[in-house]
């Protein structure tokens, strides 16, 4: 059983997805989804422990050895990612039940379909991470993308439909680019296995075909991870999707795309080719910086808080890409650590916002006046998530910021370090607008109650995780560092 963990990681949610479509609406189908994602989390924890103790796990799917069959390959980097995605997946599904029952645009008898789409999306994300086969990445990418279009379109606001359509177009272009890239690689090397690709590419790396493949993959994945200026689909999609969907996608989907980017750049093409020959850091660095700065500034002027956080996500993705463009162990540690920490903080923020819009109907700034007094627990979680986003010490966000500044100083990039700090102050500004309105404006006239426990418990679970991982950093700094060393190929 324990040998099959890599396969079970994907198979369990994959089987649970069609099964949940067979259920009647109610708690049973939710319980099934909960059990499936909980099992995924358990498997991810076991896998991570196994990898940290014994090293890389290679699993031939269906017992077909690598060149013919699909290999699942788990090392420190993707074990870490599996943990992030399955953890958020579990917490958000716990949050989703109440919202699905009352707040999404589905007739009651179709509610189980929400869980089907959700579990399929989870399957796709986990599959992209766990697989060691380039084409398999594309397959799972499509699974997760198609289901996420469905999930986004379930928002109550009718604009969710156009947002989903916009994302569909952009996402499909991205996926097509990725497919073209993988196809070109196959033409040149005759293999799709990542390890084999890594071994064979150096022999042909001077060819224009390989360079074209590299370009297609870079642009395609950048679309999926919403790198500035390819981020235009993201604010609408996050703003109009149902709150659990936003929390889930914001915390996982773009993260997995960043992981895919890292996998292609560092494992398949190799850091030498990507950053010395193709000089990718020269493109990534300015895009990351512009993205961080402009998205933070735009966030300040948003009146819809969900949209504000969406722009904040674009900025945070910039931080992660900035870490990549440092091309050092410290820089990559900050990226991987921020993948984890940002999942925690944005998960908390979007869920807290979900609690608020569950009670007051919308998440616009003017309607949130006085919410802090009538919904103290919800706003408490929001403040914790906000502090983590700013990077206050004792919260998870501090850890990644520390490594990012350290990495910039190691390279001697003073202006970059200064800009990172400056933009965290912009985060203070856009978050403090919310805090001020929520705590110091007079409370609303209409009676508003605290959010139900079913929403508060998952929200606070993540909020406390922000604090816990701000103080116990062996996972989000220690393991992140090992994962960074794995990706860069320097032995620990």
Partner 1 sequence: MSSEAVLLLALFIPLASTVFIAANDTRPDWREGATLLASLLLLGTVLSLLPEVLAGGRPSVDLFELIPGLPLRLTVEPLGMMFAGVAALLWPLNSLYSIGYMRGNKEQHQTRFYVCFAVAIASAIGVAFSGNLLTLFVFYEALTLSTYPLVTHKGTPEAMRAGRLYLGILLGTSIGLLLLAIVWTWRIAGVLDFTPGGILAGHIEGPAIAVLLALFVFGIGKAALMPFHHWLPAAMVAPTPVSALLHAVAVVKAGVFAVMKVIVYVFGIDFLSATSASQWLMWVAALTILLASCVAMTQDNLKARLAYSTISQLGYVVLGAALATSLGVIGGSMQIAMHAMGKITLFFCAGAIYTATHKTEISQMDGLGRVMPFTFGAFLIGSLSIIGLPPLGGSWSKWYLLAGTADAGQWAMMAVLLVSSLLNVAYLLPIAARGFFAPLTHETGEVSVRETPLACIVPLCLTASGCVLLFFSADALYTLLAPIATR
Residues that bind partner 1 (CB under 8 A): 387, 390-394, 398-399, 402-403, 405-406, 409-410, 417-418, 421-422, 424-425, 428, 432, 436, 440, 470-474, 477-478, 481
User: What is the closest distance, in whole angstroms, from the C-beta atom of residue 40 to partner 1 in the complex?
Assistant: 28
User: What is the closest distance, in whole angstroms, from the C-beta atom of residue 402 to partner 1 in the complex?
Assistant: 6
Question: Looking at beta carbons only, is 180 or 421 nearer to partner 1?
Answer: 421
User: What is the closest distance, in whole angstroms, from the C-beta atom of residue 98 to partner 1 in the complex?
Assistant: 28
Question: Looking at beta carbons only, is 64 or 414 nearer to partner 1?
Answer: 414
Q: For residue 54, with 0-12 CB atoms within 10 Å meaning exposed, 13-18 middle and 19 or more buried, which class applies?
A: exposed
User: What is the closest distance, in whole angstroms, from the C-beta atom of residue 327 to partner 1 in the complex?
Assistant: 18
User: What is the closest distance, in whole angstroms, from the C-beta atom of residue 305 to partner 1 in the complex?
Assistant: 19
Question: Looking at beta carbons only, is 300 or 421 nearer to partner 1?
Answer: 421
For the CA atoms of 398, 403, 409, 414, the dihedral, rounded to the nearest 10 degrees, stands at: -40
User: What is the closest distance, in whole angstroms, from the C-beta atom of residue 385 to partner 1 in the complex?
Assistant: 14
What b-and-e string marks burial along 3-26, b requiring 16 or more CB atoms within 10 Å of the CB? eebbbbbbebbbebbebbeebebe
Q: For residue 222, with 0-12 CB atoms within 10 Å meaning exposed, 13-18 middle and 19 or more buried, which class applies?
A: buried
User: What is the closest distance, in whole angstroms, from the C-beta atom of residue 254 to partner 1 in the complex?
Assistant: 25
Question: CA 28 to CA 200: how far, in whole Å?
Answer: 50
Question: CA 147 to CA 171: how far, in whole Å?
Answer: 12
Question: Looking at beta carbons only, is 376 or 452 nearer to partner 1?
Answer: 376
User: What is the closest distance, in whole angstroms, from the C-beta atom of residue 101 to partner 1 in the complex?
Assistant: 34
Question: Looking at beta carbons only, is 301 or 440 nearer to partner 1?
Answer: 440
Two tokens at 229? 């200026």
Question: Looking at beta carbons only, is 188 or 365 nearer to partner 1?
Answer: 365
User: What is the closest distance, in whole angstroms, from the C-beta atom of residue 392 to partner 1 in the complex?
Assistant: 6
Phi, psi angle pair for 304, to nearest 5°: -85, 120
| CA 298 centroid distance within chain | 21
Q: Which residues, at least 6 apart from 225, have a Cβ–Cβ distance to it below 8 Å?
A: 254, 257, 258, 261, 317
Residue 268 · residue 197 · CB < 8 Å = yes
Q: In a 3-state reduction of DSSP, which class is residue 421?
A: helix
Question: Looking at beta carbons only, is 36 or 390 nearer to partner 1?
Answer: 390
Question: Looking at beta carbons only, is 385 or 391 nearer to partner 1?
Answer: 391
User: What is the closest distance, in whole angstroms, from the C-beta atom of residue 424 to partner 1 in the complex?
Assistant: 6
Question: CA 128 to CA 175: how far, in whole Å?
Answer: 13
Question: CA 77 to CA 51: how far, in whole Å?
Answer: 10
Question: Looking at beta carbons only, is 22 or 409 nearer to partner 1?
Answer: 409
What b-and-e string marks burial along 437-458, b requiring 16 or more CB atoms within 10 Å of the CB? bbeebeeeeeebeebeeebbeb
Question: CA 216 to CA 134: how far, in whole Å?
Answer: 14
Question: Looking at beta carbons only, is 305 or 417 nearer to partner 1?
Answer: 417
Q: In a 3-state reduction of DSSP, which class is residue 131?
A: strand
| CA 179 centroid distance within chain | 21
Q: Which residues, at least 6 apart from 389, have a Cβ–Cβ distance to it below 8 Å?
A: 312, 316, 345, 346, 349, 397, 427, 431
């Amino acid at each position: 059983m324990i040998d099959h963990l890599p396969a079970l990681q994907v198979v369990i949610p994959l089987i649970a997805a069609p099964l949940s479509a067979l259920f009647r609406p109610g708690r049973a189908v939710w319980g099934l989804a909960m059990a499936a994602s909980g099992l995924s989390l358990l498997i991810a924890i076991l896998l991570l422990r196994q990898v940290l103790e014994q090293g890389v796990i290679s699993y031939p799917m269906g017992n077909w050895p690598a060149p013919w069959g699909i290999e699942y390959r788990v090392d420190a980097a993707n074990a870490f990612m599996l943990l992030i995605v399955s953890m958020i997946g579990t917490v958000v599904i716990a949050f989703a039940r109440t919202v699905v029952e009352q707040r999404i645009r589905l007739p009651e008898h179709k509610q189980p379909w929400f869980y089907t789409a959700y579990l399929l999306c989870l399957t796709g994300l986990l599959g992209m991470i766990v697989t060691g086969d380039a084409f398999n990445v594309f397959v799972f990418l499509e699974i997760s993308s198609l289901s996420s279009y469905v999930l986004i379109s379930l928002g109550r606001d009718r604009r969710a439909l156009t947002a989903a359509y916009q994302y569909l177009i952009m996402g499909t272009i991205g996926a097509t680019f990725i497919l073209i890239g993988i196809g070109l690689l196959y033409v040149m090397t005759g293999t799709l296995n990542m390890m084999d690709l890594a071994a064979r590419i150096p022999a042909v790396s001077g060819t224009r075909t390989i360079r074209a493949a590299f370009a297609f993959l870079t642009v395609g994945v950048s679309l999926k991870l919403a790198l500035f200026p390819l981020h235009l689909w993201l604010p609408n999609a996050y703003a109009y999707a149902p709150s659990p969907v936003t929390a889930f996608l914001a915390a996982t989907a773009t993260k997995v795309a960043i992981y895919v980017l890292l996998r292609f750049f560092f494992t398949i093409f190799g850091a030498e080719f990507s950053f010395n020959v193709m000089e990718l850091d020269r493109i990534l660095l300015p895009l990351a910086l512009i993205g961080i700065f402009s998205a933070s500034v735009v966030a300040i002027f948003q009146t819809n808080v969900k949209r504000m956080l969406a722009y904040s996500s674009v900025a945070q993705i910039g931080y992660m890409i900035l870490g990549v463009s440092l091309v050092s162990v410290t820089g990559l540690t900050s990226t991987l650590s921020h993948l984890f920490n940002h999942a925690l903080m944005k998960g908390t923020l979007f869920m807290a916002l979900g609690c608020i819009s569950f009670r007051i109907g919308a998440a616009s700034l003017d309607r949130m006046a006085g919410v802090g007094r009538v919904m103290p627990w919800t706003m408490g979680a929001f403040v914790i998530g906000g502090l983590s986003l700013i990077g206050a010490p004792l919260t998870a966000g501090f850890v990644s910021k520390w490594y990012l500044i350290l990495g910039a100083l190691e390279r001697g990039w003073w202006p970059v370090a200064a800009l990172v700090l400056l933009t965290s102050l912009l985060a203070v500004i856009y978050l403090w607008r919310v805090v001020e309105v929520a705590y110091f404006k007079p409370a609303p006239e209409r009676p508003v109650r605290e959010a139900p426990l079913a929403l508060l418990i998952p929200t606070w679970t993540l909020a406390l995780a922000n604090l816990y991982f701000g103080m116990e950093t062996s996972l989000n700094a220690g393991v992140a560092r090992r994962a960074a060393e794995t990706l860069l190929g320097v032995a620990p």
